[in-house]
Amino acid sequence: MKFTSVEKGCIPPCNVAPNSLMGVPRVQTNPSRWHGDGWQGFVEELKSKGVVVREEKWERSIFVTDAGGLAFGLPHGVVRPSSSEDVSKVLIAAQTHLVPVITRGGGLSSEGEAIAFGGLLLDMTSMNRVLEVDRENMTVRTEAGIFWHQLAEVLRRDGLDYLSAPLNMTSTVGGVLGVGGIDINSPRLGCSADQALALRVVTPTGEIVECSGSENSDLFERVLLGYGQFGVITEATMKIRPFTHIKMRYLYYSSLRTAIEDLQLIVREDASDYSGILTVMDSAINLLVAFDSDGREQEFDARWRSRLRGHGEVSFGVRLALYYALHPWRIKEALYIVDRRMKMVPEFFRPEFMREGKIEDRTVVFSRAVWKFWGGRQMVIPDLSASAEKFIEAVERGNAVCRKYFRYYTLYCVGIKKMEDLPRYEMSCMPPGATDFAYGCEFEPMLKDKDYSRDYLQSFKNEIYDIGVDMGLSYYRFGGMMKGYIRRIFGDEMVDRHLEMKRKADPAMILNPDVIF
Amino acid sequence: MMLKPVMCHEVCIGCSCCLLSCPVWNRTRDRSLTAQGRNKALQGGATVEDISNAIDSCILCGACEPNCPEGNDIVGLTIEQRGLLNMTRKGYPSWYPATEAKPTKGVRLQYKEVTLLAGNALKNDKDLCEAVLKLLGNKSITASDDGSDILRSMEAGLQVDKSRIDDFIYPLNSAGPLVVAEGGLRRHLKEWLPDKKIAGLGEALLSIDSIRRSLGPDDLYVIECRGFHSDYARLVRFYDRVRLETGVQLNLDLQRIAIPTGASSIQASEDLEAAGCIEQVKWILYGRKVSRIIVENLADIDAFRRVTDIPLVHVALLA
């Protein structure tokens, strides 16, 4: 292992210390706060260039934590850029004055990746204009700080829609392209980043560069799923499609293994347009499939429905009732499932979002439900990403960890199409060994109405992540507080290679220093 | 001032859902001026003076409230914050109401019929007011005291004497169903008269067949947003049925939140443009093919006229 000596007062070249977990295997690796040297000179330079830096504490405190709510940090100042040029000025000055710059979109990270532990926070949501909708080529050019929901609002006026985005209205385009993004149509369309055709990127040294698969493709591939290490995405051109209502179907299982096997069958054979698994613990497992057209649904019924082992809701409800009648000591769990069902199901069938049995604006329906039923002041969502062969074991082991730590939790599983062997997938959520498809599972305890210590929650996350190390998997979220896992999961050779690229691109190592490197 | 207890800023989890329909966010793209920004700043130790700009920016359209997964009473919270801010202000913003709501002196009536609380704009347009009354039925009357002064004062976070509110409510206790033109008043009436049947002007008029039948897919129907958001769970379904039945276009976003023009805010009473109304109207019209615009709220007419020459009509004139 190579150690580079770090001059006191400088930003270390590698925050992914090879021994970061040594001796403290169950403790989070919180970054230390930047000391603030050089800040005043940095601010003065930006002011002289017309960039407004907001330094009032109350403005900075808006960004004190992220959706995870477990890490906390205050930037020294906040800039709300209005153009790529603003971002460029910030990064050029940051290289000179050695000031860390943290980019933030929707702030929906759960491991502190979007938190500034000192330095400057770039609130990218100020760059949220849709620049051009090209109906002929079915593309949209947008500023990258836009919320996916805002983009949908604009596209819908033209009867259009984006291809794929996480089921959360308040994540931003730039943030999602930087980490991948998973939707229930990822089995067909890949991760959300795969819909990007071209980007405008401000490099860590302040160059404004247009890149795509054919132009500056190295940068393009590094920035997509690059966790903000190689540049700030300020504009994106993405594929779009005609808007459709979707028809949802639900199948219910009592066995995780059976449900996952059926999910994999659906994904492998392209049996539906959307698919995923959502559970109430491992007791009520819901495999959802959905269709953009009646034709696809009919094909599903004719070719695949009989091969799937899931039950309808009534049939499953009877089975569940029988089970709990024979296991009366688990009555609280039964009541929880019933209560969850009674509250959640109406939310998915609100009449104002239903048209002839189909959901209009599924992202709104799902996202509202996500915040209402899974959101909260703290969100702990460790995950595992595996090849098809290893996925069932990974989920079963993760489920056992959930059972050990929490009475109530949810698992969310989805398949992800791997487009080709693109460089962007290296050191990303795409696990080694995945060929055509990868699979991801999020393990989310229900934290509402109960307080847990941070150590308890962290220990839970570590146990899930340890499964990833043990089985040779990957994660959706491996930055921020979890970066101590990066070398363990990706290995020294890959990490050192990326670190070398990072050093070249970002000599002062100032861009998003607490995320990966 | 009668403030109902509001859930404090601590409830905000910072999800940003409130931003998505916020006209202040649309106009400024500045998170610090939104409900989320205010709440997170207060959680971080800010005082109401620190966030005075944000508190004053809000036009109380209520679009944020149905979006809040925590069910936070954001409008109530903002009014309360204005009240707290008023205690330390050196001077009021120029758009603050010139006079505070004062107790009335006179004979206390008791209404029995369907009672229209017309609001200043409708009351000033006597012909239209007459037309509305006719549509509401023979036995409908206009309340002489429609509480407009109370509403303006409460919006500004100013103290309203309890006796003034009592004077306003007293005749309404015995009244038949209330039809309220100023949407902002509805959230307060719901609290003061919890058992009373209260409808917005648009809802009352859209219940008339001839009006509903006159709507079509080329029309844009502009819902008065404050009343809509104050009774969202019920009204979102009412207007959805109107849309399904007539094909009319509504000023709803994808979350089924009414996109506000902001024209009925106290800020807009001084300057429509500074209050962001023009930008909002442009956004409502963006990408739409419309041959007629129908409004529930008279204040919206002026805002639309500044942006478009598409024919504009009040819903009462469709009959």
Q: What is the pLDDT of residues B201-218, one digit of tens each?
A: 999 999 999 999 999 999
Domain B209-318, what architecture? 3-Layer(aba) Sandwich (3.40)
Tell me if chain A has a CB within 8 Å of the CB of B98: no
**pLDDT tens digits, residue range A288-335?**
999 999 999 999 999 999 999 999 999 999 999 999 999 999 999 999
Measured between CB atoms, does B194 come within 8 Å of chain A? no
Taking 3-state DSSP, the helix, strand and coil percentages for chain B, each rounded to the nearest 5, stand at 50, 10, 45
Distance from CA of A72 to the nearest CA of B (A): 11
Query: Using CB atoms, which residue from B13, B16, B51 is nearest to A376?
Result: B13
DSSP helix/strand/coil, A311: strand
Q: Using the predicted structure, report yes or no on whether residue A258 has a pLDDT greater than 70.
A: yes
Pairing of strands B292-295, B219-222: parallel
CATH fold match for the domains B9-88 and B209-318: no
Reading phi first (left if > 0) and then psi (alpha if -120 to 50, else beta), residue A98 is in left
| Nearest residue in A to B232, CA atom | A352
Cross-chain CB nearest to B16 (options A57, A170, A376): A170
Cβ-Cβ contacts under 8 Å, B69 against chain A: 368, 371-372, 375
Does the beta carbon of A376 lie under 8 angstroms from any beta carbon of chain B?
yes
Nearby residues of B259 by Cβ (< 8 Å), 6 or more positions away: B21, B23, B63, B225, B251, B252, B253, B280, B283, B284
CB A199 within 8 A of CB A210: yes
Q: How far is CA A90 from the centre of its chain?
A: 26
Contact B207, B41 (CB under 8 A): no
Delimit the domains of chain B by residue range: 9-88, 115-203, 209-318
Q: How far apart are CA A496 and CA A459, in angstroms?
A: 28
Using the Cβ of B19 and the Cβ atoms of chain A, whether some distance falls under 8 Å is answered with yes
Instruction: Look up the CATH architecture of domain B9-88.
Output: Orthogonal Bundle (1.10)
> Does residue B217 belong to the interface with chain A, where contact is any CB pair within 8 Å?
no
d(CA B69, CA B20): 13
- Number of inter-chain CB pairs under 8 A, A vs B: 96
Q: Assign A132 to helix, strand or coil.
A: strand
Residue B253, chain A, CB below 8 Å: the answer is yes
Contact B29 A65 (CB under 8 A): no
> d(Cα A244, Cα A274) in Å, to the nearest integer?
13
Residue A284 confidence class, pLDDT cut points 50, 70, 90: very high
Is residue A116 a contact partner of residue A73, using CB atoms and an 8 Å limit? yes
Can you tell me the distance from the alpha carbon of A25 to that of A470, in angstroms, rounded to the nearest whole number? 14
Alpha-carbon distance A75 to A120, whole Å?
6
Q: Strand ranges (DSSP E) for A262-420?
A: 274-280, 284-291, 354-355, 358-359, 383-387, 409-417
Q: Which residue has the higher pLDDT, B44 or A259?
A: A259
What pLDDT score was predicted for residue A454? Answer: 83
Tens of pLDDT, residue by residue over A112-135, are 999 999 999 999 999 999 999 999
Q: How far does the CA of residue B14 sit from the closest CA of chain A (Å)?
A: 7
Q: Which of B17, B228, B252, B285 to mutate to test the interface with A (most CBs of A within 10 A)?
A: B17
Mean predicted confidence (pLDDT) in A265-287:
97
Residues 277-316 on B with a CB inside 8 Å of A are 286-288
Residues 6+ apart with CB under 8 A from A472: A390, A431, A432, A433
What does the domain layout of chain A look like in residue ranges? 130-242, 247-485
Which tokens hold the place of A269? 């054979």
Best A52, A61, A121 member to test B by mutation, with max B CBs in 10 Å, is A61
Q: Which of residues 205-264 of A touch B (CB under 8 A)?
A: none
Q: How many CA atoms lie within 13 A of B126 on its CB side?
A: 0
Q: Which of B17, B37, B51 sits opposite A170 (nearest CB)?
A: B17
Q: pLDDT, tens digit, for every residue of A484-496?
A: 888 889 999 999 9
Average pLDDT, chain A: 92
Q: For residues B203 and A80, give the distance between their C-alpha atoms in angstroms, rounded to a whole number.
A: 41
pLDDT of the residue at A427: 92
Q: Are A385 and A438 in contact (CB under 8 A)?
A: yes
How many angstroms separate the CA atoms of A279 and A287, rounded? Answer: 8
Distance CA(A331)–CA(A131), nearest Å, equals 55
pLDDT for B113 equals: 81
Interface of B with A in 58-77 (CB under 8 A): 69
A340 to each of A320, A408, A422, A502, B128, how far by Cα in Å?
14, 11, 41, 46, 50
Indicate yes or no: CB of A61 within 8 angstroms of CB of B40. yes
Which residue of A lies nearest to B39 if distances are taken between CA atoms? A62
Can you list the residues of chain B whose pLDDT is less than 70?
Answer: 1-7, 102-109
Judge whether A170 is closer than 8 Å to chain B, CB to CB. Answer: yes
Distance CA B152, CA B158 (A): 9
What CATH architecture does domain A130-242 belong to?
2-Layer Sandwich (3.30)
Residue B288: closest CA among chain A residues belongs to which residue? A157
What pLDDT, in 10s, does the model give residues A358-368? 999 998 999 99
User: Which residue type does A386 have?
Assistant: A
Instruction: Give A1→chain B minimum CA distance, Å.
Output: 41
Residue B119's region, left for phi above 0, alpha for psi from -120 to 50, else beta, is left
| Chain-chain contact of B69 with A372 (C-beta, under 8 angstroms) | yes
Q: What is the pLDDT of residue B7?
A: 54
Of A106, A107, A364, the CB nearest to B254: A364
Within 8 A by CB and 6+ apart from B160, the residues are B1, B2, B100, B101, B150, B153, B154
**DSSP secondary structure of B230-246:** HTHHHHHHHHHHHHHHH
Compute CA distances A22 → A175, A460, A488, whole Å.
31, 18, 11
pLDDT above 60 (res A29): no
Residue A471 tokens read as 């089985």
pLDDT in tens, A202-245: 999 999 999 999 999 999 999 999 999 999 999 999 999 999 99
Comparing C-alpha atoms, which of B174, B156, B142, B59 is closest to residue B101? B156
> Is the domain defined by A247-485 classed in CATH 3.40.462?
yes
Q: Is B209 exposed, middle or buried (0-12, 13-18, 19+ CB in 10 A)?
A: exposed
Give the whole-angstrom CA distance, residue A285 versus residue A305: 17
- Measure the CA–CA gap between A475 and A465, rounded to whole angstroms: 8
Closest CB from A56, A125, A371 relative to B15: A371
